[in-house]
Structure 1
């Protein structure tokens, strides 16, 4: 994921290992479903050049490489050296895939050089979303498409548990832990201001019914503890909420926006 610095500290609660975390997202049914939607929206074809901005450890590069075949090329970009190294290792058997270190605000890609671009849950973390969309316009060839997928953390709803605690949890995540927590709903506007044509905006609402998996992917326990330490959630209420969630039956969902945009 292409970051330019963390929005907040972790209040003494460790962040999950990124390679493991990305694998958990991609391996979940919810993750597989929306990622397939993004891949389909890109309409990848043999011979194309495709750019994955914030490629992380290369979780999705192989699928793109198979779609464009060895006659095309895939460029993964990430700001973190460890992610670049891991992605390069994973894709070493596909010489038409190259992984570069770079920032989403200044992509290491020439003007008008890619047919397709993708950003998956990356814009929520950057310092300047508008600047990232300007970079999409710069690097896309005329007629080129980009698909951007972003969650709306303010829409997270969870059952069972106290509704007000759910809302307090959301407020903490949106105000403190995620830089652009509601950027999903802004994607069409950002594209418009960057002079990109908005071809489509669709939503998905991945449903989690397993608390353990949801806890890992949505960060329920770790962010509840951070909210408690930050003084934004009462400890007794937070611990009671988590106990109710883990006892189940459990359900959680939120809105994920996917925007398809074109450089005209």
Structure 2
């Protein structure tokens, strides 16, 4: 039986992204990313993998009426949502595109950001090379990515928690350890990296954590994939639902300059 601590069905992608952005965690790390981006009036700013436009309004306010914000996403549904949300923002342009092959001229942008995007792309190094190409000399890229191999969930049986994290890192996320790799990859693609900011949110409420991690849904898939037995999955989830609960994961904000 499903515990009321866990959602029975996952939200659609737009709802998930909006919910994360509105959480204390989302507001905190997004503001830190915006601070590190150091956007100035008149800048041209790229939001690569902009999703439903969650961050476009804040970027538009930072560039003012003299600047430009370009949102790019590979998903047409996200592009449509972002366009609808920013219809009253004349400095915002949202278009479909591939971060591996940006349809933009060389050295056209002052700032760029990616937020939990590169963990999902097929070739992060190629994507970084493209961003380096389109940034002006001295331009800045700010990236935010978790390192899913740091995901830790307290449980009396450590082996069960390790199996859960291993499934997430092996199967759920394409580039699960990208957070720790970003400074090296950015350097290898021509950037300098003046700052790496680790952010480690700690979750004490299982319901809050479940909205981010989808604990039961992911655990059931891990059992189907053989990372846990069904009995182990039931036992692990029962303890998480009853508490006390603690989980944490490290999220890296990486500042890179062209």
TM-score when normalising by structure 1:
0.92
1:209 and 2:204 are equivalent in the alignment? yes
In 2, the alpha carbon distance for the partners of 1:32 and 1:233 equals 34
> SS in structure 1 opposite 2:141?
strand
In 1, the alpha carbon distance for the partners of 2:42 and 2:159 equals 52
Alpha-carbon RMSD across the aligned residues, in angstroms, is: 1.3
In 2, the alpha carbon distance for the partners of 1:218 and 1:253 equals 11
Query: Offset of 1:14 from its aligned partner?
Result: 7.1
1:163 and 2:158 are equivalent in the alignment? yes
Is the CA contact (8 Å cut-off) linking 1:77 and 1:99 kept in structure 2?
Answer: yes
Q: Which residue of 1 aligns with 2:96?
A: 101
Structure 2, unaligned runs of 5 or more: 1-7
In 2, the alpha carbon distance for the partners of 1:114 and 1:17 equals 32
Query: Offset of 1:161 from its aligned partner?
Result: 4.7
In 1, the alpha carbon distance for the partners of 2:75 and 2:254 equals 25
Q: Pick one of 130, 135, 145 that aligns with 1:150.
A: 145
Q: Pick one of 53, 75, 83 that aligns with 1:80.
A: 75
Is the CA contact (8 Å cut-off) linking 2:155 and 2:161 kept in structure 1?
Answer: no
> SS in structure 2 opposite 1:157?
strand
Q: Which residue of 2 aligns with 1:35?
A: 30
Runs of at least 4 residues of structure 1 off by over 3 A? 13-16
In 2, the alpha carbon distance for the partners of 1:134 and 1:147 equals 14
1:233 and 2:233 are equivalent in the alignment? no
> SS in structure 2 opposite 1:125?
coil
> SS in structure 2 opposite 1:75?
strand
Q: Which residue of 1 aligns with 2:176?
A: 181
Q: CA offsets, 1:147-198, max 9 Å, x none?
A: 0110011101112452211110111111111110000000011011101111
Q: Pick one of 104, 109, 116 that aligns with 1:114.
A: 109
In 1, the alpha carbon distance for the partners of 2:226 and 2:18 equals 32
Query: How many aligned residue pairs are there?
Result: 251
Query: Offset of 1:15 from its aligned partner?
Result: 5.7
1:260 and 2:255 are equivalent in the alignment? yes
> SS in structure 2 opposite 1:152?
strand
> SS in structure 1 opposite 2:52?
coil
